[in-house]
Amino acid sequence: MGSSTKLVGNNNNYDYSFKILLIGDSGVGKSSILLSFISNSLHHDLSPTIGVDFKMKLLSVGGKILKLTIWDTAGQERFGTVISSYYRGAHGIILVYDVTRRETFTNLLNIWAKEVELYSSNPECIKILVGNKVDKDKDRAVTRDEGIALAQEHKCLFLECSAKTRENVQQCFKDLVLKILEVPSLLENGSSVVKRQAMKQKQEYQSPRGGRCCLH
Asked, for residue 94, whether it belongs to a domain, the answer is yes
Asked, for residue 183, whether it belongs to a domain, the answer is yes
Instruction: Check whether 5 has a pLDDT greater than 70.
Output: no
What is the spatial distance between Cα 27 and Cα 74, in angstroms, rounded to a whole number? 9
- Write the Ramachandran bin of 132: left for phi over 0, alpha for psi from -120 to 50, otherwise beta: beta
What is the spatial distance between Cα 38 and Cα 58, in angstroms, rounded to a whole number? 9
Asked, for residue 211, whether it belongs to a domain, the answer is no
**Which residues on adjacent β-strands are paired with residue 19?**
69
Asked, for residue 108, whether it belongs to a domain, the answer is yes
pLDDT tens digits for range 106-117 = 998 888 888 888
CB neighbour burial string for 55-80, b if at least 16 within 10 angstroms, e if fewer: bebbbebeeebbbbbbbbbbbebbee
Q: Which helix (H) or strand (E) holds 33?
A: helix 30-38
Nearest to 72 by CA among 127, 107, 32: 32
Asked, for residue 84, whether it belongs to a domain, the answer is yes
Asked, for residue 213, whether it belongs to a domain, the answer is no
- How much of the chain is helix, strand and coil, in % rounded to 5? 40, 25, 35
Q: Quickly count: other Cβ atoms within 10 Å of residue 17's Cβ.
A: 20
Give the model's confidence band at 83: pLDDT under 50 very low, under 70 low, under 90 confident, else very high: low
Share of the chain above pLDDT 90, in %: 42
Query: CA angle at residue 181 from 52 to 53, to 5 degrees?
Result: 10
Q: Quick one: average pLDDT of 167-173? A: 93
Contact 19, 90 (CB under 8 A): yes
Give the range of the structural domain holding residue 169, as residue numbers without chain letter: 5-200
pLDDT tens digits for range 36-50 = 898 754 444 444 444
What is the total count of domains within the chain? 1
23 or 97, greater pLDDT: 97
pLDDT at 6: 53
Asked, for residue 214, whether it belongs to a domain, the answer is no
CATH at residue 13: 3.40.50.300
Asked, for residue 216, whether it belongs to a domain, the answer is no
Contact 20, 87 (CB under 8 A): no
What is the spatial distance between Cα 199 and Cα 202, in angstroms, rounded to a whole number? 5
pTM: 0.78
